[in-house]
């Protein structure tokens, strides 16, 4: 996969302003002039370029970090274009060109499982529009009616005259055609590329070492930086003695960054890092130096008890009266800890500052975020910042919210001779201890059952920090952080009297979007509490859910499919126990069921995981399967071992020996249930995780009678066999 390298001579689009919706995909073409690209290809529109040799280049604006949309998003364009997928080449959109063109390619940020569902309309429109222009060009040349022309698998044909041609012959003429004012998109029944499991285009370079990640950039004259940031968030550098470090072989510069970090620059990274370890740094902790996890837990407990909190919009009826009249009332508190992202590629960035331009290379989920960090750090114009596209070695939200590492790299480069490229690479310890963590949260739930075993009243109090409020000062809407509350802002269960509120509980710990965000933790409380209520009602957890979901057909559908797949209505083998859960994250509907056994020592053997998802429309089923498999690993790692704790204001976990992740020997058997019922476009990268955690914990309860209400499981005497 080569990166797009469009130079200024190829900027051939007239732009007025960014338009809303799908409009920016079309109408940007310069009418009346066939524009030949430097390599002989013609731009039909900003997404589609066709060369005389029939090669179709489709632009990809978002990022690739293993989630697969660099393949699936272009499938949307190719289908409407009726291209031959074998002739499709995919190129990243150039970030600088995108900015100079008023962000013509729409969102680049790759977060929230949004790439397909939020770009599908303009991408399909771009394909359909290009197809229409190809047909018009062929009709002109052949002197036939455009309505009689067929396009299929990269071939334009006219049955009446027996003519046919590849796309390339008409590329230049198509580019000169007027952009159709509107196009009709295909009926899903006619899709032939959408819905196909084409191999991911970014996989081949990942098996021979040729894939280029942010940390792999190598430039002439490059120097290398290692950084140590204040171990206490919000702390600063008081002083440091660099005399020993400066005398080490290869060391070029020692500097402080933003008053809160010390960096060493050397002629290779190992020398920089080795020298950094010899620097004694005195820190000022600025008031946070005695904060421990216990203090934070006490703060959250107080939030659960606070007399008032912000009301959620889905409250209805009179929950207090319903609870007072209930036959049985249950109350339970749940706790989910801070978690780090820990992608395999640690944070880092390469920056080179020249008088007329700043170049940055970094693995990211937010290419424009890199540009913003450079602009803010150096005071340069965004048009003069060039962010280069690379594969990210995992993102999971870490590289989407904050691009703090890009700022550090820019500030280091600013202290070096002009034109010196510097590559900053964090150690794993820096990565673990300077993350933007999944928010810690507590949940207090109350539920009432009537004499028929129906949930008659429901109350939920959520105590959590707010990611966007803390990271960017974004005000809460009516006092509620909706990413922390997702899962409680709309229940799939029909409960007439329900009340939910949110208590903002800030700490000094930086917060960030962690794969599946609120949906990574709220189902741990919600879906276990539903099981608790089912138990109190003396009912089966699956059928108890179903009877409360009469009005939610899509939630019911995926839950039924998953229950069928695990054979819920037949008893499991002796000694094996089951749990089930359902969730509705990021526009999709997901459910999971787990079979496990637990021995006397608390060792959990997971026998089978069923992961089900209904994405509505589904672009690349094998990639969806891969995302579900990965999401299961992600969820079980967090369930078993995941926690970030603090003592004296500092994160205690530092590397994979004390921030454990699941390994091959612990990998359960996973079966996936893919449903594409049509009618909507749901997300894929994150939803799979949401139901796993509660289904797993519900199965543990079934096996042991232990209801785990706080994570991780290692603190409850459990291990993974």
Partner 1 sequence: MELQINNEIHEVDVEADMPLLWVLRDIMNLKGTKFGCGISQCGACTVHIDGEPVRSCSFPVAAAAGKAITTIEGLSADASHPVQQAWVKHQVPQCGYCQSGQIMTAVSLLAKKPKPSDADINAAMTNLCRCGTYKRIRDAIHDVAGNNPENTLAYEA
711 pairs with which residues across the strands? none
CB of 159 to partner 1, least distance (A): 38
Question: Is residue 437 near partner 1 by the rule CB under 8 A?
Answer: no
Question: Is residue 178 near partner 1 by the rule CB under 8 A?
Answer: no
Question: Is residue 647 near partner 1 by the rule CB under 8 A?
Answer: no
User: Distance between CA 110 and CA 117 in Å, rounded?
Assistant: 12
Strand order in the sheet with 348-353: 251-257, 261-266, 223-229, 422-425, 348-353, 358-361, 385-388
Q: Are strands 348-353 and 328-336 parallel, antiparallel or unpaired?
A: unpaired
User: Distance between CA 321 and CA 537 in Å, rounded?
Assistant: 20
Binding segment for partner 1 among 133-141, 266-274, 294-302, 539-547 (CB under 8 A)?
266-274
User: Distance between CA 110 and CA 64 in Å, rounded?
Assistant: 8
Q: Are strands 236-241 and 385-388 parallel, antiparallel or unpaired?
A: unpaired
Which backbone phi and psi does 254 adopt, to 5 degrees? -125, 135
Question: Is residue 721 near partner 1 by the rule CB under 8 A?
Answer: yes
CB of 199 to partner 1, least distance (A): 6
Question: Is residue 669 near partner 1 by the rule CB under 8 A?
Answer: yes
CB of 125 to partner 1, least distance (A): 29
**Count of residues in contact with partner 1, rule CB under 8 A:** 64
Residues 62-91 interacting with partner 1 (rule: CB under 8 A): 65-68
Determine which residue in the list 69, 364, 391, 507 makes contact with partner 1, applying CB under 8 A. 391
The residue among 370 and 626 lying less far from partner 1, judged by its C-beta, is 626
The residue among 346 and 367 lying less far from partner 1, judged by its C-beta, is 346
User: Distance between CA 419 and CA 568 in Å, rounded?
Assistant: 64
Question: Is residue 575 near partner 1 by the rule CB under 8 A?
Answer: no
Binding segment for partner 1 among 121-129, 385-393, 400-408, 583-591 (CB under 8 A)?
385-393
Among 324, 242, 234, smallest CA distance to 281 is for 242
Helices and strands, number each (H, E), in the chain: 18, 28
156 pairs with which residues across the strands? 151, 165
Which helix or strand (DSSP H or E) is residue 229 part of? strand 223-229
Question: Is residue 224 near partner 1 by the rule CB under 8 A?
Answer: yes
CB of 429 to partner 1, least distance (A): 8
Binding segment for partner 1 among 172-180, 197-205, 528-536, 563-571 (CB under 8 A)?
197-205
Question: Is residue 208 near partner 1 by the rule CB under 8 A?
Answer: yes
Question: Is residue 436 near partner 1 by the rule CB under 8 A?
Answer: no
CB of 653 to partner 1, least distance (A): 12
Q: Residue 119, exposed/middle/buried by CB under 10 A (0-12, 13-18, 19+)?
A: buried
Q: Are strands 251-257 and 261-266 parallel, antiparallel or unpaired?
A: antiparallel
| In contact, 702 and 578? CB cutoff 8 Å | yes
The residue among 238 and 663 lying less far from partner 1, judged by its C-beta, is 663
The residue among 505 and 689 lying less far from partner 1, judged by its C-beta, is 689
The string of DSSP letters for 65-108 reads SSS-HHHHHHHHHHHHHT--GGGEEEEEPPHHHHHHTTSTT---
The residue among 220 and 473 lying less far from partner 1, judged by its C-beta, is 220
Determine which residue in the list 633, 644, 676, 695 makes contact with partner 1, applying CB under 8 A. 633
Beta-carbon contacts of 13 under 8 Å, excluding residues fewer than 6 positions away, are 28, 29, 30, 43, 46, 101, 104
Question: Is residue 215 near partner 1 by the rule CB under 8 A?
Answer: yes
CB of 55 to partner 1, least distance (A): 22
Residues 343-362 interacting with partner 1 (rule: CB under 8 A): 343-346
C-alpha 666 chain-centroid distance: 25
Helix axes 522-537, 692-704, angle to 10 degrees: 40
Question: Is residue 611 near partner 1 by the rule CB under 8 A?
Answer: no
500 pairs with which residues across the strands? 460
CB of 520 to partner 1, least distance (A): 14
Determine which residue in the list 107, 164, 622, 652 makes contact with partner 1, applying CB under 8 A. 622
Residues 313-342 interacting with partner 1 (rule: CB under 8 A): 342
Question: Is residue 220 near partner 1 by the rule CB under 8 A?
Answer: no
Residues 110-139 interacting with partner 1 (rule: CB under 8 A): none
| In contact, 480 and 502? CB cutoff 8 Å | yes
CB of 346 to partner 1, least distance (A): 7
Beta-carbon contacts of 638 under 8 Å, excluding residues fewer than 6 positions away, are 339, 520, 693, 711, 712
The residue among 220 and 705 lying less far from partner 1, judged by its C-beta, is 220
Determine which residue in the list 629, 652, 677, 707 makes contact with partner 1, applying CB under 8 A. 629
Question: Is residue 661 near partner 1 by the rule CB under 8 A?
Answer: yes
Which residues contact partner 1 (rule: CB under 8 A)?
65-68, 199-200, 202-213, 215-216, 218, 224, 249, 268-271, 342-346, 391-396, 425, 427-428, 605, 607, 622-623, 626, 629-634, 655-657, 661-665, 667, 669-670, 721
């Amino acid at each position: 996969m080569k990166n797009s390298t469009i130079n200024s001579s190829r900027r051939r689009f007239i732009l007025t302003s960014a338009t809303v919706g799908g409009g920016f995909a079309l109408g940007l073409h310069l009418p009346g002039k066939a524009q030949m690209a430097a390599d002989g290809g013609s731009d039909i529109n900003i997404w589609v370029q066709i060369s005389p040799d029939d090669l179709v280049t489709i632009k990809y604006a978002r990022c690739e970090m293993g989630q697969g949309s660099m393949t699936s998003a272009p499938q949307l364009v190719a289908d409407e274009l009726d291209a031959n997928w074998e002739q499709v080449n995919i190129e990243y959109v150039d970030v600088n060109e995108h900015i100079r063109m008023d962000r013509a390619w729409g969102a680049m940020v790759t977060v929230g499982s949004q790439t397909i569902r939020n770009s599908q309309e303009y991408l399909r429109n771009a394909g359909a529009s290009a197809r229409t222009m190809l047909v018009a060009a062929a009709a002109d040349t052949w002197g036939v009616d455009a309505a009689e022309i067929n396009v299929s698998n990269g071939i334009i044909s006219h049955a009446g005259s027996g003519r046919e041609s590849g796309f390339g012959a008409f590329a230049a003429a198509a580019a000169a055609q007027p952009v159709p004012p509107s196009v009709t998109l295909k009926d899903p029944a006619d899709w032939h590329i959408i819905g196909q499991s084409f191999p991911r285009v970014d996989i081949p370079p990942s098996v021979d070492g040729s894939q280029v990640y942010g940390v792999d950039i190598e430039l002439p004259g490059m120097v290398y930086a290692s950084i140590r940031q204040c171990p206490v968030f919000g702390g600063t550098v008081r002083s440091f003695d660099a005399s020993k470090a400066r005398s080490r072989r290869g060391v070029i510069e020692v500097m402080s960054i933003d008053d809160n970090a010390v960096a060493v620059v050397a002629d290779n990274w190992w020398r920089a890092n080795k020298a950094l370890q010899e620097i004694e740094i005195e820190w000022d902790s600025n008031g946070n130096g005695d904060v421990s996890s216990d203090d934070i837990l006490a703060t959250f407990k107080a939030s659960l008890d606070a007399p008032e909190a912000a009301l959620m919009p889905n409250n209805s009826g009179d929950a207090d009266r319903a609870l007072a009249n209930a036959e049985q009332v249950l109350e339970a508190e749940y706790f989910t800890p801070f978690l780090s992202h820990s992608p395999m590629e640690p944070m880092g960035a390469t920056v080179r500052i020249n008088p007329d331009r700043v170049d940055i290379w970094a693995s990211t989920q937010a290419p424009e975020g890199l540009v913003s960090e450079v602009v803010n750090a150096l005071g340069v114009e965004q048009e003069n910042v060039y962010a280069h596209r690379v594969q990210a070695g995992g993102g999971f939200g870490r590289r989407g919210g904050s691009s703090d590492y890009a700022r550090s790299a820019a500030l280091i480069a600013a202290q070096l001779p002009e034109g010196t490229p510097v590559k900053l690479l964090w150690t794993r310890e820096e990565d673990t201890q300077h993350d933007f963590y999944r928010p810690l949260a507590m949940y207090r739930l109350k539920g009432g059952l009537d004499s028929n075993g129906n949930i008659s009243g429901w109350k939920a109090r959520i105590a959590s920090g707010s990611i966007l409020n803390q990271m960017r000062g974004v005000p809460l809407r009516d006092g509620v952080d909706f990413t922390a509350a997702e899962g409680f802002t709309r229940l799939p269960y029909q409960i007439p009297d329900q009340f939910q509120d949110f208590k903002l509980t800030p700490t000094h710990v930086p917060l960030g979007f962690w794969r599946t965000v609120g949906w990574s933790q709220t189902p741990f409380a919600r879906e276990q509490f539903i099981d608790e209520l089912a138990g109190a009602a003396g009912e089966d957890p699956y059928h108890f859910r179903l009877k409360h979901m009469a009005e939610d057909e899509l939630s019911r559908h995926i839950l039924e499919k998953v229950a069928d797949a695990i054979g819920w209505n037949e008893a499991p083998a002796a000694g094996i126990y089951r749990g089930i859960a359902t969730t509705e994250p990021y526009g999709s509907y997901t459910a999971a069921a787990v079979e496990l056994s637990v021995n006397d020592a608390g060792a959990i053997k997971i026998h089978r995981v069923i992961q089900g998802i209904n994405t509505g429309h589904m672009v690349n089923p094998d990639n969806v399967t891969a995302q579900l498999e990965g999401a299961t690993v992600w969820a079980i790692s967090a369930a078993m071992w995941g926690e970030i704790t603090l003592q004296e204001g500092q994160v205690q976990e530092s590397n994979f020996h004390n921030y454990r992740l699941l390994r091959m020997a612990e990998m359960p058997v996973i079966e996936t249930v893919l449903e594409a019922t049509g009618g909507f476009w749901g997300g894929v990268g994150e939803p799979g995780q949401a139901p796993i955690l509660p289904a797993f914990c519900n199965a543990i309860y079934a096996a042991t009678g232990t209801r785990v209400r706080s994570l991780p499981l290692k603190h409850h005497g459990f291990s993974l066999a």
